[in-house]
Amino acid sequence: MHTKSLIKRLLTVEQIIVEDVYFEQAEEEILIVKARPPKRATSRCPQCGRRCPGYDSATKSRRWRSLDLGSQRVYIESNAPRVHCPDHGVIVAKVPWARHHSDYTYDFETAVTWLALHATAQDVAEYFRIKWHTVGSIAKRLQNALEQSRPSRFDNLEAIGIDETSYKKGHKYMTVVVDHQTGHLIWARKGFGKAVLTEFFEELTEDQRAKIKYVTADGARWIAECITSFCPNAQRCIDPFHVVAWANNSLDEVRKAAVRLAKKEVAEVGNTGAAKKKEPKNTEIYFTEGPQESNTKSAGKHGDDYQIG
């Protein structure tokens, strides 16, 4: 197989023409794949995909980071001309291997986002040899792309769950909303309270809010007020997690009260026994002739019997 064909298959990019492959020595040796899109994929707007007239020739080249081949970093290099779109103005032409405003290929961003779901941003950054804040930018870009290609996550909502959760070791809070039918997280925002939850309901249309039939939440007053204001026809339910949590808390209080009562009773019994041990003992006194000596021993019940020797 020809080297260019092999590189094309390894890059897993359909619409690409590989022109050259070479190594470049920077901080470390990197593999450069000089390429260009096929003619049918050139001069297209990255926003709408429409073929547009060229704005400049832009001989300056640009590079996109691709997935590594083993331990070797790989970059795709190509010219980046601009086009004039009637709707989006002058903009850099679309390339088949990367998103607009991205310095990474589709496959690279997908791999980074997938690993970010299972590891910390720092671990992902070390593995792919990128900066840690770049992980969040890539994940956000992929999220926006998926949302644009899929139906709205707010459509056909019938049963939702609302709760606040802590992060940063419990020092910060965020409000989350889930769809009970799909089990997916559909909305999250930093902070909690009526003002934050109001932002969620304001993102929904009147029809979307009207379709909500059930809302599960805890006993927070600000959640109840928002439900009454935006979804007056929805039935408010206490979610099972808080029901179990409250039941466990109640059992803990009963257990603690029982332990305190038991300790008190044990202490009272101990004090009574100690008091009995400290009662003075009655004695009998025996006198003998000669020098006055006395012998003592335990007396009877009343201790009032004296005998003279």
Question: If we measure between CA atoms, which residue out of 98, 79, 111, 107 comes closest to residue 12?
Answer: 107
Of 238, 269, 296, which residue sits at a domain end? 238
Question: If we measure between CA atoms, which residue out of 102, 168, 106 comes closest to residue 134?
Answer: 102
Q: Is residue 207 part of a domain?
A: yes
> With b meaning 16 or more CB within 10 Å and e meaning fewer, what string describes 63-82?
ebbbbbeeeebbbbbbbebb
Is the pLDDT at 196 greater than 70? The verdict is yes
Of the two residues 193 and 59, the one the predictor is more confident about is 193
DSSP state of 127: H
Lowest average pLDDT, out of 122-126, 162-166, 186-190, 277-281, goes to 277-281
Distance, in Å, from the CA atom of 276 to the CA atom of 86, rounded to the nearest integer, reads: 103
Is the pLDDT at 255 greater than 90? The verdict is yes
Lowest average pLDDT, out of 191-200, 255-264, 288-297, goes to 288-297
Is the pLDDT at 107 greater than 90? The verdict is yes
Is the pLDDT at 22 greater than 60? The verdict is yes
Q: What's the mean pLDDT in 48-76?
A: 88
- Residue-level pLDDT at 298: 43
Structural domain for 246, as ranges: 241-279
Q: Judge if 142 and 174 occupy the same domain.
A: no
Distance, in Å, from the CA atom of 62 to the CA atom of 80, rounded to the nearest integer, reads: 6
- Residue-level pLDDT at 3: 80
Which CATH number goes with the domain that contains 228? 3.30.420.10
Cα dihedral 43/46/52/58 (nearest 10): -50
Q: Judge if 63 and 18 occupy the same domain.
A: yes
Contact 78, 37 (CB under 8 A): yes
Of 103, 121, 138, which residue sits at a domain end? 103
Is the pLDDT at 295 greater than 90? The verdict is no
Q: Judge if 126 and 31 occupy the same domain.
A: no
- Residue-level pLDDT at 140: 92
pTM: 0.61
